[in-house]
Amino acid sequence: MTTTDPAPTIRSSGQADASRGVDAVSVVEEPERPRWYRPALWVLLVLVGIAYLWGLGASKWANSFYSAAAQAGSVSWKALFFGSSDAANAITVDKPPASLWAMGLSARVFGVNPWSILFPQALMGVGSVALVVATVRRWFRPAAALLAGAVFAATPVAALMFRFNNPDALLVLLLCAAAYAVTRAIDVEGGSWRWLALAGTLVGLAFLSKMLQAFVVGPAFACAYLVAAPTGLGRRIRDLSVLAATTFAGAAWWIAIVELWPASSRPYIGGSQHNSVLELVFGYNGFGRLTGNEVGSVRSQATIASTGRWGPTGWLRMFNVGFGGQISWLLPAALLLLVAGVVWTFRSPRTDRARAALIIWGGWLVTTGVMFSLGQGIIHQYYTVALAPAIGAVIGIGASLAWDRRSSVTGRAVLAVSIGVTTMWSVALLHRTRGWYPWLPSAVLVGGVAAAVLLLVGDRLRRGPVSALSVGAVLAVLVALAPPVAATATTVRTPHTGAIPTAGPPMREPRPRHRHPRPRPARRPLRPPVGSRTVGNGRGPTSGQGPGMNGLLQAKPPTRPTVAALRRDAAGSDWVLATVGSNNAAGYQLATREPVMSIGGFNGTDPFPTLGQFQRLVAERRVRYFVPGLQGGYQMGGSDEAKRITDWVRSRFAVVDVGDAPMYDLDAPIDHAARCCSGAPG
């Protein structure tokens, strides 16, 4: 028996069913739904929708790299299928295309504009919250489900990514749907391979948004069904084979088509060094994220200056100055409630639903958190949105289990310690913001202490119309949600652009306090060398906060004369322009709506096209103009092929004087510069 309150929907019979080979059958009953539940759910979803849709166009093209690919997909079905950066299908983005399918189709329906590209992401956010609520609601009280959804929605990085066009939004939506399907599979008497097949298909499709990251939750889903499905061991194993097969099929069909498609008639696979999507699966977007062995990856000035290529790793990575404000506001409470829930359900019958839920969501939280904390490869702060649904669900489930045990000291102590830990960590995070809502730490501290006291000793206070425990619980929820909600509001009000956005207010490490600081001699501030650039906001390698980091790798829009010249000369060529790096290309493509070739792909490091291939394209007059160089804060000069192409163009063709970056006219060799162009050779 895992619950004492009649409100939950779980009841274990505790009796064996020898005829079915089941040692204990859990009976799932549909409780009377409180009248307030459905209105409260709609209020939550409407608020989430407003938060994710409000001022959505303020971020302009957001990540122009993906916006340009969505624009290409809006005019070319081939580009949409492969995830090409341009409609002429030179090279793909360095991720699988599932998220681009949603954005490209939206752009086809509503036209190519920032709102149409970001609109599907916001809908994915509302859908993800609804799925978390629905999943928790099946086995737990309505308040627990709403709390899970509220915690998820209040996470700052969730508001960031559901208002942005990186592929993480679709990844989270599909994994939430898969968790719901696994829950339904366990819910069915005798188990359900059909629901598992749906779960596997959804995880496979999630793979087509960010590749191997989608599979990290797979062990938790499989373990939950293996442990808790109300059927015999043989059938459980058989059903899990269906889960594995459909997961593989959901991911492999697109990979098989791309690998079998003749390379000469499809775009080059961006992010790979040998034009192979399998290289992305097992390298750049796969195991390389764990080992750091990512051929063709990028290297930032900020992280070069730190102890690691992508910042320090370790068990506390999610709590450091770079990641803490994004995801960890309620992470300590989630871990505490997860441990308590496992202890409480350890001796429960095998089919206990509460333990199964903890395996699903707690396993998701632990496996993904460990991967993010210890991975040596590329990791950005916004990746942590994948933790947000699990944090919300574990808090809702754990709080419900603790509330069921509120008559015991242990249950009340877990609730009190949870809000106490949350209060202390929230205050610590708020002290990193320096000046952002300066009154909030004191308010959180006072409210958190009061809530902890009421939860711990509320049963001894005189009872009135409302019990002190209930007041303490409500106050605890308000105190726990206030800081992340404020950070989410700041995220919603702030436009975000570039490839590496961050949520919430800027954060820095707290200043050390010295009782007797030594006087420092006055000195003149050092000036940076001429031509130097600061990556991010200059607040340290792991901060990643502020508008500077938001603008990292953002495409620079070309000037109006340049756009006019490109549009005028676009006819008769496949690509109106070729340039090194996808972010350079994206700026020109979104401004002109004409295909722009990205030499070297996203990082400029892909060996495509080769010098020989580019020379043939120029000879066939399929490329009209060329712009060299990369923009953004990364220390990379592109691939060797990109350098060869740049040197060849500079030595052979004339510069067009359009008042923008040096633009070479590939129809104007230097010998004819006086007749064709007003510029000088590079």
Residue range 493-550, pLDDT digits in tens: 999 988 889 999 998 876 655 555 555 555 444 433 333 333 333 333 333 333 333 3
> How far, in Å, CA of 600 to CA of 297, rounded?
12
Identify how many contiguous H helices and E strands the chain contains and give both numbers: 27, 7
As a whole number of Å, the CA-based R_g of the chain is 27
Q: Give yes or no for a contact between 249 and 204, defined as CB atoms under 8 angstroms apart.
A: yes
User: Average pLDDT of the chain?
Assistant: 84
Selection from 667, 569, 678 nearest residue 617 by Cα: 667
96: which strand partners? none
Q: Is the peptide bond before 609 cis (omega within 30 degrees of 0)?
A: yes
Residue range 417-468, pLDDT digits in tens: 999 999 999 999 999 998 899 999 999 999 999 999 999 987 777 666 778 8
- pLDDT: is 308 or 380 the higher one? 380
Q: Helix, strand or coil for residue 654?
A: strand
**Which tokens in the block code for residue 638?**
């592109």
What is the chain's length?
Answer: 682
> How far, in Å, CA of 231 to CA of 114, rounded?
50
Q: What angle do CA 532, 533, 538 make, to 5 degrees?
A: 125
> Which pTM does this prediction carry?
0.86
Residue range 17-46, pLDDT digits in tens: 333 333 333 334 445 678 899 999 999 999
The crossing angle, in degrees rounded to 10, of helices 114-139 and 64-73 is 100
Mean pLDDT, residues 653-676 taken together: 74
Selection from 625, 631, 634 nearest residue 597 by Cα: 625
Q: Is pLDDT of 256 > 60? A: yes
Residue range 620-633, pLDDT digits in tens: 999 999 998 754 33
Selection from 278, 321, 8 nearest residue 137 by Cα: 8
Q: Is the peptide bond before 541 cis (omega within 30 degrees of 0)?
A: no
Q: Give yes or no for a contact between 107 and 94, defined as CB atoms under 8 angstroms apart.
A: no
234 by Cβ neighbours in 10 Å (0-12 / 13-18 / 19+) ranks as exposed
**Which tokens in the block code for residue 362?**
């707690």
> How far, in Å, CA of 146 to CA of 176, rounded?
15
> How far, in Å, CA of 661 to CA of 431, rounded?
43
Residue 639, CA distances (Å) to 518, 597, 626 in order: 50, 15, 16
| pLDDT computed for residue 375 by the predictor | 86
Between β-strands 26-28 and 10-12, what pairing exists: parallel, antiparallel or unpaired? antiparallel
| DSSP code string of 233-283 | HHHHHHHHHHHHHHHHHHHHHHHHHHHHS-GGGS-B-TT-SSS-HHHIIII
Contacting residues for 321 by C-beta, under 8 A, at least 6 apart? 432, 507, 508, 509, 540, 542, 543
| DSSP code string of 139-155 | HS-HHHHHHHHHHHHH-
Selection from 522, 422, 409 nearest residue 482 by Cα: 422
| pLDDT computed for residue 562 by the predictor | 86
Residue range 398-416, pLDDT digits in tens: 999 999 999 999 999 999 9
> How far, in Å, CA of 448 to CA of 681, rounded?
68
| pLDDT computed for residue 602 by the predictor | 85
| pLDDT computed for residue 680 by the predictor | 42
The shares of helix, strand and coil residues in the chain, as percent rounded to the nearest 5, are 55, 5, 35
| pLDDT computed for residue 581 by the predictor | 87
- Phi/psi for 329 (5° steps) reads -55, -45
Q: Within a 13 Å sphere around the CA of 283, how many CA atoms are in the beta-carbon half?
A: 18
Sequence letter at residue 293: N
Give the start-end residues of each E strand in 50-156: none
**Which tokens in the block code for residue 155?**
């996470």
Q: Give yes or no for a contact between 368 and 289, defined as CB atoms under 8 angstroms apart.
A: no
Between β-strands 575-580 and 623-627, what pairing exists: parallel, antiparallel or unpaired? parallel
Cβ atoms within 10 Å of 200's Cβ, excluding its own: 28
**Which tokens in the block code for residue 386?**
């994948």
Residue range 85-129, pLDDT digits in tens: 999 999 999 999 999 999 999 999 999 999 999 999 999 999 999
Q: What angle do CA 21, 22, 25 make, to 5 degrees?
A: 155
Q: Give yes or no for a contact between 552 and 583, defined as CB atoms under 8 angstroms apart.
A: no
**Which tokens in the block code for residue 590?**
């979104």
669: which strand partners? 653
Cβ atoms within 10 Å of 24's Cβ, excluding its own: 16
Between β-strands 575-580 and 26-28, what pairing exists: parallel, antiparallel or unpaired? unpaired
Q: Where are the alpha helices (DSSP H) in 538-661?
A: 546-550, 560-568, 582-592, 611-619, 640-652
**Which tokens in the block code for residue 407?**
């008559």
